Amino acid sequence: MAKYFDVHPQSPQARTIGTVADSLRSGALIAYPTDSCFALGCRMGNPEGLERIRSIRRLDDHHHFTLMCENFAQLGQFVHIDNSVFRAIKAATPGSYTFILPATKEVPRRLMHPKKKTVGVRIPDHVVTRALLAELGEPLVSSTLLLPGEDEPMTQGWEIKERLDHVLDAVMDSGDCGTVPTTVVDFSGGAAEIVRRGAGDPAPFE
């Protein structure tokens, strides 16, 4: 049964954030709000959590997982970025973008695209998410909470708790965070390629 945490959207309770971070360190899989839909998340060093995300969403081995990062310094530990790409991404973060880039050796192979050796990264513009990331001190492996066969992600914390109670360990709810996923920009080939148009304005990358 998943624990349910009602979190203030602008002033997240430190004790609650600490409790959720501790559960993640202990191997939990959570649903949490972002600036672009609810997401499923676990620690990088949690292979069981990763497989649980794959199972819930019925994902294949070619799915790009996203490392949800607190800031640019943390993001830079996990992907290779040249100067021109650095400037483009820096100007767009934090925000509703996911960037696909070549992964560094800090990224477990199970998180990389098996052929391209790439991974998704992003820095969210969401108070609760960033508070959790700051408390955790490391990225969250994440995937949009979009269930198989459904056209839109789930938007209500109580509904997530009700429908996924048996497969999650915790649900963080700070109110509606929308149904539009991130804009995905692939920089792995050097130039920007817009893979998905979403909540972030794609114009800077066109």
138-147 as b/e: b if 16+ CB within 10 A: bbbbbbbbbe
In the chain, where the domains are located:
3-205
- Residue 47 carries which side chain, given as an amino acid letter? P
Helix ranges (DSSP H) in 4-124 = 14-25, 47-57, 72-75, 83-92
3-205 — its CATH code? 3.90.870.10
What's the pTM?
A: 0.95
Structure-block tokens of residue 52: 């649980």
The SS3 call for residue 19 is: helix
Mean pLDDT for the chain overall:
94
Instruction: Output Rg (C-alpha) for the chain, integer angstroms.
Output: 16
Show the beta-strand stretches assigned E in 87-181.
97-102, 118-122, 140-144, 170-173
pLDDT tens digits along 96-112: 999 999 999 999 999 99
The SS3 call for residue 203 is: helix
Q: Is residue 151 within 8 Å of residue 129, measured between CB atoms?
A: no
For residue 141, give every residue at least 6 positions away whose Cβ sits within 8 Å of its Cβ, in sequence order, or none: 41, 42, 43, 44, 46, 49, 50, 53, 65, 66, 67, 68, 111
User: pLDDT tier at 46 (50, 70, 90 boundaries)?
Assistant: very high
pLDDT at 27: 98
pLDDT tens digits along 120-177: 999 999 999 999 999 999 999 999 999 999 988 888 999 999 999 999 999 999 998 8
Q: Whole-angstrom Cα distance, residue 8 to residue 35?
A: 15
pLDDT at 62: 79
Query: Among 96, 101, 142, 141, which residue's Cα sits nearest to residue 118?
Result: 101
